[in-house]
Amino acid sequence: NAGVTQTPKFRVLKTGQSMTLLCAQDMNHEYMYWYRQDPGMGLRLIHYSVGEGTTAKGEVPDGYNVSRLKKQNFLLGLESAAPSQTSVYFCASTIGIISNQPQHFGDGTRLSIL
């Protein structure tokens, strides 16, 4: 029962460093999402993907890039980390476009940028 797995769970970076967050799902879901969670703001959508090889911008895409080379994986990249990107990042997946289908979440990656 793996569901959605995020790697790593914690990371500390220095300003200007780069890194990639990995999300893997084993439910054969088409849609995958990256969110960031900041205190008092709920979750905000960074990027999403509606299938292998496709990605699109969410509400807060600046400073992030994504790739979906395989259906089960969705990668989030920070090219040059900034302190404003200190946050908890969640990956989610869902079966498809039907609006009443819930999203399944990973346990999050806690990222600090110094």
Binding positions for another protein, rule: CB under 8 A: 4, 31, 33, 40-45, 48, 50, 56, 58, 90, 92, 94, 97-108
Whole-angstrom Cα distance, residue 85 to residue 42? Answer: 15
Given the complex with another protein, which of 17 and 71 has the nearer CB atom? 71
**Residue 16 beta carbon to another protein: minimum distance, rounded to whole angstroms:** 28
**Residue 106 beta carbon to another protein: minimum distance, rounded to whole angstroms:** 5
Given the complex with another protein, which of 84 and 101 has the nearer CB atom? 101
Given the complex with another protein, which of 21 and 106 has the nearer CB atom? 106
Phi then psi for residue 96, to 5 deg, are 175, -155
Whole-angstrom Cα distance, residue 47 to residue 69? Answer: 15
Between the CA atoms of 44, 34, 5 and 114, what dihedral angle is there, to the nearest 10 degrees? -80
Q: Residue 91's beta-bridge partner residues?
A: 34
**Residue 98 beta carbon to another protein: minimum distance, rounded to whole angstroms:** 7
